[in-house]
Structure 1
Amino acid sequence: MASGPARPGTGELRDRFTRNVLRRAKAELVRQLPRWTRAEVWVDLDSVLSPRYASAWANERERMRRLGSALSRSHIQASLNNLKQACNFAPDSYDGPKVRALVDLAEEITSGRSKLVVFTSHGETSASRLLPALEAFGVVRLKADSADADQKAALARFRAQPGQRILVADTDARGDGESLDPATYVIHFDHDWNPAVRRRHEQRFFPELGPVLPLHVFELWVLGTVEESYHNALQRRNLLASSLTQDTQPADLDRSLSLEDWRREVFEAAPTRGHPSVAPGGTGALPGTGTLRSRLETLGPEQWATAAEGLLRARGFDSMRRLTEPEESGLMLLASRPGEGESVLVHCLKTDKAVGVAEARQVLEEADRLPECGGAYLLATSDFTPACKKFGEDSRGRLTLLGGADVYRHLRSQGIVP
């Protein structure tokens, strides 16, 4: 039997690749990355919390009306605390829109083996409900009223134990003066209105030199509440956390809103409800919030198929052929643009789980088996794991990922989902 050309052995292959591999130290790469990124995640009140919040809102506005000229900043802070707690959790429950968004973020972040710090400004009132919701990810609690030795022990446990991926910390906890380098994410579950206070909390656990890897900060906000009203007031003054310089102190902003500003712009103004799920300029990573996912889950198989085809048309594909019938899990399409000889294979996936590398690899392998395909698209009603996104980036344009917020924004613009 005639033999083909000799195949290179393992050693020869390794030698070929070694000559073409650029090795970079982590420290070199880190210097080229942004040291600090910040994203706002906005959620809606649900049917359980809406009436509870409306009642608390009416009570606080009436109290301020009766206080009249006796209104003080202490009254403002007390009202903010009451209203923020009214939109954090459902009564006698660990649930709530913010909690669902937090769990979604935790699931996405920990799936990439990263660690995160969750700040709460309401101590045990919030932490006692957050711990059961997050315990599946491995949680360490850091209490502000614990002794110094206990706080240092909690931080050491969080740093040393790989399975302890979330630190739930009171905002007044002291830390130990060293950077929490194992953590590369921070989530402000509930937060002070003053953005410089939030920045101070971050800097206490991640001093000026910053962590080994860039730090990604998420702030959870609730639409249609006092949070949106004071966010708008700060935005008009260019005083959001993303706009502050590193050396801005809380005292610099304490009186940036006068008592009249608070009364007129926050407690008497109706929120505009105009914020996206993630504000532009953030990390770009959005595990779908509970609200986003629940709305996309209402789509039937044919609705999702039609919506996916509309999204592809919006991206310039004018010809589409369904390769499979729409099912509850989704469908496969072949799409092409005018004047282009090649098509792309499109897997439209309907799921409430973060989409991983396995699904991405499968659709790309299927596209490679079709001679008319020059690449693949993966459309999903949820977002993608960090590993899946990295796989897409490494495909050199052969695989495009569209999911989560991108899909939702298109469907909402078409009136398909609210």
Structure 2
Amino acid sequence: RSQMSILDALLKLRQICCHPRLLKIELPEFSKHLPSGKFEAFKNMISEIVEGGHKALVFSQFVRMLHIIRQWLESNEIPFCYLDGASKDRLEQVDRFNNSPDIPIFLISLKAGGTGINLTSADYVIHYDPWWNPAVESQATDRTHRIGQTRQVFSYKLICQNTVEEKILKLQESKRGIAEAVILGQDTWKSLTREALEVLFEV
């Protein structure tokens, strides 16, 4: 039970970095309407990308975060394509994005769209929440680096300063297995030493 509590706490810390609305907390003093600094920065980035006539892929491992972004795009009348694990029109969404100059944004869940698709019409890639295995992120970014790409591609990873996101990145650099345990909840949680936990939960 203590192991699950640790992973659940780490999940909540990661989610609140993305947006308070991701948290499932039923407390009278907790408001899901709190602003998100990362989301505000993200919206500014997207506005500049769209105004500049560019096209961007936006990856997140949290489908609920993609839904929040989708709601904002809809309210601002910004056209977009969407793909997650439940999507039945995967190829249609890819074709629409690649062949429609007026669709600047493609929202993609990392697990559903990280491999096997060609998205060379995009010249920006945004990883909204980091996946701590750099190979997985690289595979997702590589959707834009295919035959037919003629423009320079810019890739961004959004990290909240002084949060668990920065701390897990540091752990990932030293020992990938620890970071994967935190993200995936794998049996490799046993790799979480007391020292690693102290780093993650340091205030």
Q: TM-score range by the shorter chain?
A: 0.7 to 0.9
- Please, which of 125, 128, 144 is the counterpart of residue 189 of structure 1? 128
Give the equivalent residue in structure 1 for 2:185.
none
Question: TM-score when scaled to structure 2?
Answer: 0.75
Q: In structure 2, what is the equivalent of residue 179 of structure 1?
A: 118
* Residue 112 of structure 1: how far off its partner (Å): 1.5
Query: In structure 2, do the counterparts of structure 1 residues 208 and 154 end up closer, same or farther at CA, with 3 Å as the change threshold?
Result: closer
User: Which of 251, 254, 272 is 2:177 aligned to?
Assistant: 254
Question: Which residue of structure 1 lines up, in the alignment, with residue 169 of structure 2?
Answer: 231
SS of aligned partner of 1:146: coil
Higher relative contact order (CA 8 A, sep 6+): 2
Match of 1:265 among 185, 199, 202: 199
- Aligned partners of 1:173, 1:87: CA distance in 2, in Å? 22
User: What is the CA–CA distance in structure 1 between the aligned matches of 2:39 and 2:45, rounded to whole Å?
Assistant: 10
* Separation in structure 2 between the aligned mates of residue 87 and residue 266 of structure 1, nearest angstrom: 14
Instruction: Rate the CA distance shift 1:105–1:200 in 2: closer, same or farther, 3 A.
Output: same
- Looking at structure 2, the residues matched to 168 and 120 of structure 1 have their Cα atoms a distance apart, in angstroms, of 8
Change (3 A) 1:156 1:94: farther
Contact 2:133/2:179 (8 A) holds in 1 = no
The CA deviation string for residues 136-195 of structure 1, in whole angstroms up to 9 with x for no partner, is 332211122222xx0111111111222210001111114783431110101111122332
- 2:16 alignment counterpart: 86
Q: Is the 8 A contact 2:84 2:113 kept in 1?
A: no
C-alpha displacement of 1:209: 5.3
- Once the two structures are TM-superposed, the CA of residue 94 in structure 1 deviates from its matched residue by 9.0
Query: 1:217: how far off?
Result: 0.7
Q: May I ask how many residue pairs the two structures share in their alignment?
A: 180
State the alpha-carbon separation in 2 of the partners of residues 158 and 175 from structure 1.
16
User: Counterpart of 1:144 in structure 2: which amino acid?
Assistant: G
Corresponding residue number in structure 2 for 1:410: none
Q: Deviations over 1:66-117 (max 9, x none)?
A: 82xxx3xx76654332211123224444951111111111111122211001
Deviation at 1:219, TM superposition (A): 0.8
Opposite residue 259 of structure 1, the aligned amino acid is L
**Superposition RMSD in Å:** 2.8
Q: Distance in 2 between matches of 1:219 and 1:196?
A: 14
Does residue 216 (structure 1) correspond to residue 154 (structure 2)? The answer is yes
Percent of matched pairs sharing the same residue: 26
Distance 2:6 2:136 in 1: 17
Closer, same or farther in 2 for the Cα pair 1:191/1:176, shift >3 Å?
A: closer
Specify the alignment match of 2:55 in structure 1. Answer: 115
Matches within 5 A, 1:27-42: none
Corresponding residue for 2:92?
153
**SS in structure 1 opposite 2:19?**
coil
Which one has a larger percent strand, Structure 1 or Structure 2? 1
Please give the alpha-carbon distance, in whole angstroms, between the structure 1 residues aligned to 2:192 and 2:199.
10
Unaligned runs of 5+ in 1: 1-65, 240-252, 271-418
Contact 2:120 2:149 in 1 (8 A): yes
More helix by share: 2
Query: Which of 84, 108, 125 matches 1:169?
Result: 108
Gaps of 5+ in 2: 22-31, 181-190
Structure 2 residue matching 1:101: 3-state secondary structure? helix
